[in-house]
Homo-oligomer: A and B are copies of this chain.
Amino acid sequence: MLNQAPDLDRVFQALADPGRRVMVERLSRGPASVSELAKPLTMSLAAVVQHVQVLEASGLVRSQKVGRTRTCSINPTALRSAEQWISERRTLWERRLDRLGDYLAETANETPEET
């Protein structure tokens, strides 16, 4: 059962932590084990495992255990859904600005000498 519904709360929450972003950054270059993810971070392995769990719960990361090592990799779908949410609001706002600009330009044309 993959977390296919793009739970934005959890995705943004997951991305809000700098350590977790470092992990996502690492994973965007390719799959990695938990201890590889832990290397650049100054915290216990147990803490890293907890972060991985948060990332998995958000759907940003998937992992599978082979032997004694758990290999993590990025799920671009979750990344894309967050990106899309932001992009939609931003373009909405920019389109509004454009319309406002048009309106102001028109108004200036209609009453060019006023005041």
Contacts and interface: CB of A to CB of B under 8 A. Distances in A.
Contacts of A27: 93
A110 interface: no
A80 interface: yes
Interface of chain A, main secondary structure: helix
A79 B94 CA distance: 12
What's the number of copies of this chain in the assembled complex?
2
The size class of the interface chain A forms with chain B is 20 to 34
Nearest to A93: B28
A114 interface: no
Interface of A: 8-10, 12-13, 15-18, 21, 24-25, 27-30, 74, 76, 79-80, 82-83, 85-90, 92-94, 96
